[in-house]
Chain A
C-alpha cells in the first residue's frame, strides 16, 4: 500500500486508562450501532455535526463566556461594543467575544451545508455511474 498510514490513537498504559477506554468503548459502540441502524448514512453527518458543535463551543464560546465573567459585562451584540470607551479594553474584547459567537453559528451552518452538498454530489455521481454501467 503506498498511502501513508497515520498512527492509531495512543493506547493507554495505566490500569485506569485501560479501564476507562474499555468503559467508553462499552458506551460508544452501542450508540454507534443504534445510530447507524436508525439513520444509516445520515448518522455519520449527525455525529460529525455534534462533534463540530462541541469543538466550536469549546474553542469559541467557552473562552468568551469566561471572558465575560472576568470583565463582569454582558456583551450581546456589536452595538453594545460601540457604546464602550474607545481606549478601553472592553471594546476590543467585546468585538472578539461577539465575533466568536457569530463565527460559531456560521461555521456550524456552513459545514453542515457543505456536508450535504458533498453528499448530494456523491449521490449524483454514483447514480450516474450506475446508469452508465447498465
Chain B
C-alpha cells in the first residue's frame, strides 16, 4: 500500500471518529442542559450560566483530550505493527523466500529452510523433524559442520 493511501484512509477514519464523538458530545450537552433547565426553571442567574459554560467547556475539552491521546496511542501501535510486517516482507524478499535460517556465529549459514506459516514448532522439534543432530549445531568450529542445506529443505517439504 502506498503511504499516501494510508494517510488518506487514516484521515477519513479520523474524520468519521471525530464526527461520532461530536454527536456524543452534543447529546451529552443537551441532557446536561435539560437537567439544569429543570432545576433552575429557566431562570438562569449570571453565575449559574457562566458556571454551566465553564463546566461544559472543561468537560468537552477533557473528553476530547482523552479521546485524542487514545487515538494517537492506537495509531502508533498500528504503525509499529505495519512496520513489523513490512520488515518481515523485506526479509523474505532478501533471503529469497526462506522462512527459517540458522546462522553459525562465525557467519556461515547452517540451515536454511522454507516452512509454511501454518506450521509452528519449537526449534528442537524442527531439528528433529529435519534429522539434524543437536550436537552438530553446537559444534564450535565451522570445519566440523557439514549440513547439506538443499537436502534438508527437500526432506521437510
Q: Which residue of B lies closest to A117 (CB)?
A: B65
**Cα distance A5–B78 when bound, in Å?**
11
Q: Nearest A residue to B16 by beta-carbon distance?
A: A6
Q: Which of A79-119 contact B (CB under 8 A)?
A: 81-82, 91, 95, 99, 102-103, 106-107, 109-111, 113-115, 117-119
Give the CA-CA distance A91 to B37 in the complex, in Å: 12
> Does A122 lie within 8 Å of B18, measured CB to CB?
no
Contact between A1 and B65 (Cβ–Cβ < 8 Å)? no
Contacting residue for B58 out of A2, A91, A110, CB 8 A? A110
Establish whether residues B22 and A110, one from each chain, have CB atoms under 8 Å apart when the complex forms. no
Using an 8 Å CB-CB cutoff, how does the interface string of A1-23 with B read, 1 for contact, 0 for none?
11101101100000000000000
**Neighbouring B residues of A110 by C-beta, 8 Å:** 25, 56-61, 63-64
Counting chain A residues whose Cβ lies within 8 A of the other chain, the interface size class is 35 or more
Residue B100 at the chain A interface, CB threshold 8 Å:
no
Which chain B residue has the least Cβ–Cβ distance from A5? B9
CA distance A109 to B29 in the complex (A): 13
A51 at the interface (CB under 8 A from B): yes
The answer to whether A6 and B60 have CB atoms under 8 Å apart is no
Partner of A55, one of B19, B29, B64: B19
Bound-state CA distance A95–B44 (Å) is 11
Q: How far apart are the CA atoms of A10 and B7 in the complex, in Å?
A: 17
| Per-residue interface assignment for chain B, residues 67 to 97, with 1 indicating a CB less than 8 Å from any chain A CB and 0 otherwise | 1110010100010011001000000000000
Find out whether the CB atom of A9 lies under 8 angstroms from the CB atom of B62. no
B25 surroundings in chain A (CB, below 8 A): 107, 110-111
